[in-house]
Structure 1
Amino acid sequence: MGQRANGTRQERLKRMLTPQSAAFLGGASSIPAIEYCRLRGFRGQIYVVNPRRSELAGFPCYSSVSKLPTVPDMAYIAVPRENVIGVVRELSQLGVAGAVCNTSGFSEMQGGEASQRDLVKAAGDMPVIGPNCPGVANFADSSAFMIDEFGAHGTDGAVAVVSNGGAYISDMSCSDRALPLAYAVGLGNQAMVTAADIMHVVLDDDRVRAINLYMEGIADPAGLARAGLKAARKGIPVVVIKGGRTSAGRRAAQSHTASLAGDEIVASALFRRLGFIEVRSPSEALETLKMLLSTPRPKGWRTAFATSSGSYAVLGSDYAEANGLIMPAPSPAASADLQNHLPLFVHPTNPLDISSAHNADFDLQLKLFRAYLSDEWDLAVQVMCFPPPGTSDPDSWAKSTRAFAQAASERGLPAVFINSLPEPMPKDARDQILAHGVAALSGLEDGFRAVANAVRFSELAGHLAERAAEEILLPAQPACSGPVYSLDEAAAKSELSKAGLSVPRSIVVEPDQITDLDRLAYPVVVKALSKDLSHKSEVGAVALHLGSPDEARNAVLNMARKLAEDVPELSVASFLVEEMVRDAVGELLIGVRRVNIIGLVLVIGTGGKEAELFRDIETLLLPASRKTIADALRKLKLFALLDGWRGQPKGDVEAAVDAIHDFGRFAIRHQERLLEAEINPLIVCRQGRGAVAVDAVMRLSREG
Structure 2
Amino acid sequence: MRDLSRVLRPRSIAVLGSGWARNVIAQCTKMGFEGPVWPVHPTREEIGGVPCVAALADLPEVPDAVFVGVNRHATLGVIEELAAIGAGGAICFASGWREAGDAGLQEALVAAAGNMPILGPNCYGVINYLDGALLWPDEHGGRRVERGVALISQSSNIVINLTMQARGLPIAYVACLGNAAQVGLADLAAAVLADERVTALGLYIEGIADAPAFAALAEAARATGKGIVAIKAGKTEASRDAAASHTASLAGGGAPSSAFLRQAGVAEVTSPAELIETLKILHAHGPGLGRQLCSLSCSGGEAGLMADLAATVGVEFPPLGDGQRARLAAVLGPLVTLSNPLDYHTFIWGDLAKTTEVFTATLQGYDAGLFVIDPPRPDRCDPSSFEPALEAIEAAQKATGKPAFALASLPENFDETRAIAQMARGVVPLMGMETALSAVKAAQTVAGREGWRPWPVIAAKAPQMLNEAQAKARIKAAGIAVPTSVSAARLDGLIPDGMTPPFALKGLGFAHKTEAGAVRLNVSDPSAEAEMPGAEGYLLEEMVTGGVAEVILGARCDPVYGATLTLGLGGVAAELLADTVTLVLPVTRVEIAEALRELRLWPLLDGWRGAARADTEALINAALTLQEMLRGDPSLVEVEINPLILRQSGAVAVDAVIWEEI
Deviations 1:223-268 (A, max 9, x none): 3223223224334211000123333547541311111111322211
Q: Distance in 2 between matches of 1:318 and 1:130?
A: 45
Equivalence for 2:66: 75
Q: Could you list the per-position Cα deviations for residues 366-411 of structure 1 after superposition, in whole angstroms to 9, with x for gaps in the alignment? A: 344355456x322221112111123222222111122243245433
Query: Is 1:48 matched with 2:39?
Result: yes
Structure 1 equivalent of residue 455 of structure 2: 475
1:85 aligned residue (66, 76, 83): 76
Q: What letter corresponds to residue 578 of structure 1 in structure 2?
A: E
Residue of 290, 308, 314 corresponding to 2:280? 290
The 10-residue stretch of structure 1 (355-364 or 382-391) with the greater mean CA deviation from structure 2 = 355-364
Distance change in 2, residues 1:363/1:505 (3 Å): same
Which residue is equivalent to 2:388? 399
Match of 2:107 in 1: 117
The farther-off stretch of 432-441 and 272-281 is 432-441
* Cα distance in 2 between the residues matched to 1:273 and 1:191: 27
Q: Percent of pairs identical after alignment?
A: 37
- Asked if the contact 2:626/2:639 (under 8 Å) is kept, the reply is no
Q: What aligned pairs does 1:366-377 form with structure 2 within 5 A after superposition?
A: 366-373=356-363, 376-377=365-366
Aligned equivalents of 1:428 and 1:74: distance in 2?
34
Q: 1:676 to 1:165 in 2, by over 3 A?
A: same
In 2, Cα distance between equivalents of 1:91 and 1:668 = 46
Deviation readout 1:53-76 (Å, 9 max, x if unpaired): 121123222222233343222211
Evaluate the alpha carbon distance shift between residue 334 and residue 121 of structure 1 in structure 2; reply closer, same or farther with a 3 A threshold.
closer
> SS of the counterpart of 2:659?
strand
Match in the other structure for 1:350:
340
For residues 44 and 290 of structure 2, what CA distance do their matches in structure 1 show? Answer: 62
- 8 Å CA contact 2:227, 2:286 repeated in 1: no
User: 2: CA distance between counterparts of 1:675 and 1:388?
Assistant: 60
- C-alpha contact (below 8 Å) 2:125/2:136 kept by paired residues: yes
Tell me the equivalent position of 2:519: 542
2:529 to 539, 543, 558: 558
Distance 2:595 2:626 in 1: 15
The 1:573–1:385 alpha-carbon spacing in structure 2 relative to 1, beyond 3 Å, is: closer
| AA partner of residue 79 (structure 1) | V
Q: Is 48-57 or 589-598 further displaced after alignment?
A: 589-598
Q: Which secondary structure state, in structure 1, belongs to the residue aligned with residue 256 of structure 2? A: helix
* Equivalent of residue 605 in structure 1, options 568, 571, 579: 568
* CA-CA distance at 1:90 after TM superposition: 2.1
Partner of 1:212, secondary structure, is strand
> Does the 8 Å CA contact 2:294/2:363 hold for their aligned counterparts?
yes
Give the CA deviation at 1:96.
2.1
Q: In structure 2, how many angstroms separate the alpha carbons of the residues matched to 1:44 and 1:429?
A: 33
The amino acid of 1:544's aligned partner reads L
Match of 2:120 in 1: 130
Match of 1:694 among 651, 654, 658: 654
1:507 aligns with 2:483: no
Structure 2 distance, partners of 1:263, 1:17, is: 34
Change (3 A) 1:242 1:73: same
User: SS at 2:151's partner residue?
Assistant: strand
Match of 1:445 among 431, 434, 437: 434
Paired amino acid for 1:591: G
The 1:369/1:157 distance shift into structure 2, 3 A limit, reads closer
1:536 partner SS: coil
Match of residue 30, structure 1, among 2, 7, 21: 21
Q: How does 1:263-282 map to 2 (within 5 A)?
A: 263-282=253-272
Contact 1:132 1:188 in 2 (8 A): yes
* CA distance, structure 1, for counterparts of residue 177 and residue 413 of structure 2: 28
In structure 1, how many angstroms separate the alpha carbons of the residues matched to 2:157 and 2:555?
A: 37
In the TM superposition, 1:12-411 aligns within 5 A as: 13-109=4-100, 111-249=101-239, 252-295=242-285, 300-331=290-321, 334-335=324-325, 337-342=327-332, 346-357=336-347, 359-373=349-363, 376-411=365-400
Deviations 1:269-321 (A, max 9, x none): 11112111011111111111112222476664332211123332222222222
Q: Give the 3-state SS of the residue equivalent to 1:184 in structure 2.
A: strand
Q: Deviations over 1:127-174 (max 9, x none)?
A: 221122111122223322111243343341231110112222222223
Tell me how far apart the structure 1 counterparts of residues 276 and 640 of structure 2 sit (CA, whole Å): 40
Q: Alpha-carbon deviations, 1:460-485, whole Å to 9, x = none?
A: 2xxx2xx352xx2233223244x532
Q: Distance in 2 between matches of 1:195 and 1:455?
A: 24
**Residue 412 in 1 paired to residue 369 in 2?**
no
1:10 corresponds in structure 2 to 2
- Find the aligned partners of 2:352 and 2:536 in 1 and give their Cα distance: 85
CA offsets per residue over residues 517-564 of structure 1, 9 Å max, x none? 12224433221112xx12223333222234xxxx2333xx5241xx23
CA shift at 1:436, angstroms? 5.3
Q: TM-score if structure 1 supplies the norm length?
A: 0.88
* Match in the other structure for 1:5: none
From the superposition, tell whether residues 693 and 422 of structure 1 become closer, same or farther in structure 2 (CA, over 3 Å). same
Say if 1:373 and 1:164 are closer, same or farther in 2 by CA, change over 3 A: closer
* 8 A contact 2:127–2:175 mirrored in 1: yes
Q: Contact 1:142 / 1:155 at 8 angstroms: preserved in 2?
A: no
State the secondary structure of the residue aligned to 1:133.
coil
**What is the CA-CA distance between 1:210 and the residue it aligns to?**
0.7
The amino acid that maps onto 1:405 is E
Q: Counterparts in 2 of 1:594-673, with a 5 A limit?
A: 594-671=557-634, 673=635
Which SS does the other structure have where 1:263 is aligned?
A: coil
CA shift, 1:344, in A, is 7.0
Aligned to 1:677: 639
8 Å CA contact retained: 1:602, 1:622: yes
Cα distance in 2, alignment partners of residues 240 and 652 from structure 1: 36
Amino acid at match of 1:101: C
Q: Distance in 1 between matches of 2:398 and 2:417?
A: 21
Q: Secondary structure at the match of 2:525?
A: helix
User: What amino acid is the match of 2:601?
Assistant: L
Once the two structures are TM-superposed, the CA of residue 202 in structure 1 deviates from its matched residue by 2.0
Partner Cα distance (1:252, 1:406) in 2: 54
- How far off its partner does 1:699 sit? 1.7
Given candidates 559, 575, 585, the residue that maps to 2:538 is 575
Deviates more, 1:662-671 or 1:149-158: 149-158
> Who is 1:4 aligned against?
none
> Structure 2 length as normaliser, TM-score?
0.94
Any conservation in 2 of the 1:221–1:474 contact (CA below 8 Å)?
Answer: yes
Q: What is the aligned residue count?
A: 662
**How far apart are 1:429 and its partner, in Å?**
3.7
Q: 2:2 corresponds to which letter in structure 1?
A: Q
Specify the code of the residue in structure 2 equivalent to 1:39: K
Q: Which moved more, 1:78-87 or 1:483-492?
A: 78-87
Displacement, 1:427? 4.6
Deviation, 1:333, is 5.8
Mapped contact 1:10–1:201 kept (Cα < 8 A): no
User: Structure 2 residue aligned with 1:430, among 419, 423, 447?
Assistant: 419
Cα offset, 1:499, TM superposition: 1.9
- Pick one of 486, 491, 496 that aligns with 1:517: 496
Residue 220 of structure 1 deviates from its aligned partner by: 2.9
Secondary structure, counterpart of 2:514 in structure 1: helix
Structure 2 unaligned segments of length 5 or more: list them: none
User: Which AA in structure 2 matches 1:96?
Assistant: A
Aligned-partner SS, 2:7? helix
The question of whether the paired residues in 1 share the 8 Å contact of 2:238 and 2:249 is answered with: no
